[in-house]
Amino acid sequence: MLSRICFSLVLLAVGLSGFQILQVKRAVSQQEQIVTGTEFGDPLPAITAKDFELFRLGLEDFTEVENPDEGLGPVFNGRSCAECHSVPRIGGSSTITEVRGGIRKDDGSFEEYAGGSVMQMFSIPPHETQITIPPEINVIARRKSLALFGNGLVEAVPDAVFMAMEDPDDHDADGISGRAHRVQDKASDRTRIGRFGWKAQQATLLAFGAEAYRDEMGITNDLFPAEACPGGDCEKINFFNPVPGLQDARDLTTGLRGIDNFENFMKLLGPPPRGPISEEVLEGEKLFHSAGCVACHIPSLVTGASPVKALNFKRFFPYSDFLLHDVGTADGIGQGDARPEEIRTPPLWGVRLRAPFLHDGRASTLQEAIELHASEALKSRGAYEKLSPEEQKAVVAFLRSL
């Protein structure tokens, strides 16, 4: 008994709380290992020297500011990945939102715009390719950048885990019908379960990074070899392109492409650390469970087998199921198999540093974000609203500890 108490105290000391400790005890009995947070921006704990070198090279490329003679543009949203992923450290999020657009047709169905839904804000001189939103676009949405901490763990979760959690037809009649987003993964050329992006539109960090390199920075690469042609005017884009063709070259000394570097950096980037855990936080955690928030914000997941030891069978605490839900807030953009009214449950780890909240930043406070939950989350929001003001404060204190 004493040793059990000591074990719990040790877990409390490394920054875990009530329900987490219960899960850790189960994990330990099943031989999984748990990963607690690192300092923001640090790599996963206990990686090999070789992986550390890959992480370092990745961080360098992720931070590098690109120029038009290296392929930047003709249209772009940023000059480096870190420009939009830097709060509170490189690899984080930012208050930057970008614009997506598409077409809602008369029959209510959605049509993706030719050239994709991302609308680039900038262009390189002579600025002949500057994007204006085409007149046929009648859905315009904003999306916040996302933090990348701990994403190697998210990537290492087997597809089957998400498929086991989904309940598209709400068979258990709890009013919640999460859907796993099946996507064609360009990294493996296979159908995989998407988990990255507000629409869970990508399954792997390699594919997400490669698409971002092309869509955010205008740098073509092996996975996305054609320039983005927003407005569908590819001819104009190509005419004003100082470096036509494939722009992401392989580095002759390291043998790595830019997209490999981004992948390595993101894969090895550690998860966010928990904040201080007070009595109020522990109370809030209980209420978070009893209000049913955990139906979507699942506290922990376990990775599958991975050649990277730091990712191999690890239990971690993202507070998300990474499934698509209709919670009444979505952006009206259909993307792949994700419907206009669906949005992926965002992980809540690190949420304390991500204001403003929700995909478009429409909520200034965590309370506001909770109060905007509707549709599938209506019951859970109702349970939250029935709490006393002190109890609601405790839920927010818990969120602020993640």
Among 40, 55, 113, 208, binds ligand HEC (CB under 6 A): 208
Quickly count: other Cβ atoms within 10 Å of residue 2's Cβ.
6
Among 113, 213, 316, 349, binds ligand HEC (CB under 6 A): 213
Q: CA 397 from chain center: how many Å?
A: 23
Q: How far apart are CA 26 and CA 18, in angstroms?
A: 13
Yes or no: say if 82 and 65 are a contact pair by the CB < 8 Å rule: no
- Residue 175 has which token pair? 């009013």
Q: Is 295 exposed, middle or buried (0-12, 13-18, 19+ CB in 10 A)?
A: buried
Query: Is residue 327 involved in binding ligand HEC (CB under 6 A)?
Result: yes
- Residue 298 half-sphere exposure toward CB, CA atoms < 13 A: 16
Q: Toward ligand HEC, which CB reaches closer, 78 or 102?
A: 78
Q: Toward ligand HEC, which CB reaches closer, 59 or 366?
A: 366
Query: Is residue 156 involved in binding ligand HEC (CB under 6 A)?
Result: no
Query: Judged by CB under 6 A, which stretch of 52-60, 129-137, 141-149, 229-237 contacts ligand HEC?
Result: 141-149
Query: Is residue 377 involved in binding ligand HEC (CB under 6 A)?
Result: yes
Q: Toward ligand HEC, which CB reaches closer, 143 or 257?
A: 143
Among 54, 148, 223, 268, binds ligand HEC (CB under 6 A): 148
24: left (phi over 0), alpha (psi -120 to 50) or beta: alpha
List all residues 6 or more positions away from 354 whose beta carbon is below 8 Å from its beta carbon. Answer: 87, 93, 144, 147
- Residue 250 has which token pair? 């392989």
Q: CA 207 from chain center: how many Å?
A: 13
For ligand HEC (CB under 6 A), the number of binding residues is: 58
Which residue, among 22, 39, 48, 1, has the nearest Cα to 264 in the 3D structure? 48
Among 44, 395, 397, 402, binds ligand HEC (CB under 6 A): 395
Q: How far apart are CA 12 and CA 19, in angstroms?
A: 11
Q: Toward ligand HEC, which CB reaches closer, 231 or 271?
A: 271
The site string for ligand HEC over 270-309 (x = CB under 6 A, - otherwise) reads ------------------x--xxx-xxx------------
Yes or no: say if 156 and 304 are a contact pair by the CB < 8 Å rule: yes
Q: Toward ligand HEC, which CB reaches closer, 27 or 349?
A: 349
| CA–CA distances in Å: residue 269 to residues 37, 44, 208 | 10, 6, 15
Residue type, 191: T
Among 17, 20, 23, 151, binds ligand HEC (CB under 6 A): 151
- Residue 392 has which token pair? 């609601």
Q: Toward ligand HEC, which CB reaches closer, 148 or 310?
A: 148
Q: Toward ligand HEC, which CB reaches closer, 11 or 119?
A: 119
User: Dihedral of CA 32/38/43/47: which sign?
Assistant: negative
- The radius of gyration of the chain's CA atoms, rounded to the nearest angstrom, is 21
Within 335-364, the residues that bind ligand HEC by CB under 6 A are 343, 345-346, 348, 351, 354, 357-359
Yes or no: say if 119 and 99 are a contact pair by the CB < 8 Å rule: yes
Query: Judged by CB under 6 A, which stretch of 5-13, 67-75, 195-203, 276-284 contacts ligand HEC?
Result: 195-203
Among 145, 220, 303, 401, binds ligand HEC (CB under 6 A): 145
Query: Is residue 162 involved in binding ligand HEC (CB under 6 A)?
Result: no
List all residues 6 or more positions away from 98 whose beta carbon is below 8 Å from its beta carbon. Answer: 77, 84, 118, 119, 121, 142, 143, 145, 216
Among 44, 81, 298, 302, binds ligand HEC (CB under 6 A): 81
The site string for ligand HEC over 168-187 (x = CB under 6 A, - otherwise) reads --------x-----------
Query: Is residue 207 involved in binding ligand HEC (CB under 6 A)?
Result: no
- Residues near ligand HEC (CB under 6 A) are 77-78, 81, 83-85, 96, 98, 143-146, 148, 151, 176, 196-198, 205, 208-209, 212-213, 216-217, 262, 266, 288, 291-293, 295-297, 325, 327, 329-330, 343, 345-346, 348, 351, 354, 357-359, 366, 369-370, 373, 376-377, 380-381, 384, 395, 399
